[in-house]
Structure 1
């Protein structure tokens, strides 16, 4: 992509010099794609492996939190906030389309409606739960990440990624599983999966820490920025100030 087509970025903190982000849109697209796929493919399936019960979406949903950490660390809270709202809008649209497609009367020659409803019939409820949990969890995750970057003076990235995930994923899991599955799964299963998935997500974050370090390092070098949110408005509803 030509640099002239990339969005203008906020100035580097303390310099007043505007910069342009080359890879921000790519990171945003990856974030939204993983977010939608995790809700369509894996969220409704309950799996048990070696006596351990978990939601199948655990395989890739935590990657969205890793990307959220990368966004906040490299591009700052304001840009991460924009991505969270884009993901929110995409999930709302997906929920509507899922409902509309399932509700459409099937052709007389098509015998897949029952299977289609079984697979996608829960999607609106799951996405409703995801919208609430995602919105709260991602903003908490990004806030903690940005604040900890200031507290640590940009050092110990691992402490920020893991610390923000513990809090953000805790909020996400505490909202998502009861709203999505109470009354569908046994209450005991909801609680087991809620806690086990939270632990697994935090473990995933820890395991992926070397990857996070690599991606963050490469992006910071490519973008030429080091952003600290010392004067950022952390309200989820604040408008982004564009410069340059």
Structure 2
């Protein structure tokens, strides 16, 4: 008897969870790149570090979610499963960029209430193009490093100390991510396009302040890693993968 549609649709809970985690992860990546055109700034007074001016893009609003999902994907689906989602997310981000670029080539119909004029549309999506490219590249490299380090820490601790592999892999990989995206957007890409570029001092300062914010976010998310594991275990009955031997 041939299988019915119900029989072949999402065979088990682990596969369903993978789809949900992947879908939210990809959505957050695309949102981060679209929202990244807006910059924000606020001041922080931190113990030991003193007064810090934080300047970054609003694209980092989705970072806490992607940090958490990366760790859960690593924990329950291993390096291969996490890498697969990373490459799919990168491809979907590139696809979104292509369609955004195509939409900018269409002649605009002016004078319709509630719609953007040419200048406003280009201001948002045109200005976001370079940031989009820089963010995608930094995301891919940073995520692959995160996945690698997570596996290294998990193997080195024999599967113990969840906080170490979750937080440790994130704070290290995001150091690279922060400097890569800032360097590409403010210096390397403008250099290639023969545009005005920022000074390396500005690049370093901007990347550092952005990383400090990401660092505290990553540390603050540690309890949510344990909460996510608890919910998946108690509500879905799914256990993390055992420690890989190699």
Which residue in the other structure is 2:90 paired with? 88
More relative contact order, 1 or 2 (CA 8 Å, 6+ apart): 1
* Structure (1 or 2) with the greater helix fraction: 2
What 5-or-longer segments of structure 1 have no aligned partner? Answer: 9-18, 233-244
Normalising to structure 1: TM-score of the pair? 0.81
Q: Mark the CA change 1:137 to 1:7 in structure 2 (over 3 Å): closer, same or farther.
A: farther
Which residue in the other structure is 1:16 paired with? none
3-state DSSP of counterpart to 2:154? helix
Which residue in the other structure is 1:119 paired with? 124
Alpha-carbon displacement from aligned partner over 1:51-105 (angstroms, at most 9, x marks no partner): 7232122232242122111110122111111100110111101111111112211
Distance 1:144 1:99 in 2: 35
Q: Mark the CA change 1:21 to 1:217 in structure 2 (over 3 Å): closer, same or farther.
A: farther
Which residue in the other structure is 2:238 paired with? 224
Decide whether the 8 Å contact of 1:147 with 1:229 is kept in 2: no
Q: Mark the CA change 1:83 to 1:49 in structure 2 (over 3 Å): closer, same or farther.
A: same
Distance 1:178 1:146 in 2: 28
- Higher radius of gyration, 1 or 2: 2
What 5-or-longer segments of structure 2 have no aligned partner? Answer: 1-5, 44-51, 191-195
Query: Per-residue deviation at 1:186?
Result: 3.8
Which residue in the other structure is 1:24 paired with? 18
3-state DSSP of counterpart to 1:23? helix
Normalising to structure 2: TM-score of the pair? 0.80
Q: Mark the CA change 1:108 to 1:47 in structure 2 (over 3 Å): closer, same or farther.
A: closer
Alpha-carbon displacement from aligned partner over 1:142-185 (angstroms, at most 9, x marks no partner): 11111211111111111111110122111211211111233567
Q: How does 1:51-130 map to 2 (within 5 A)?
A: 52-55=53-56, 56-109=58-111, 112-130=117-135
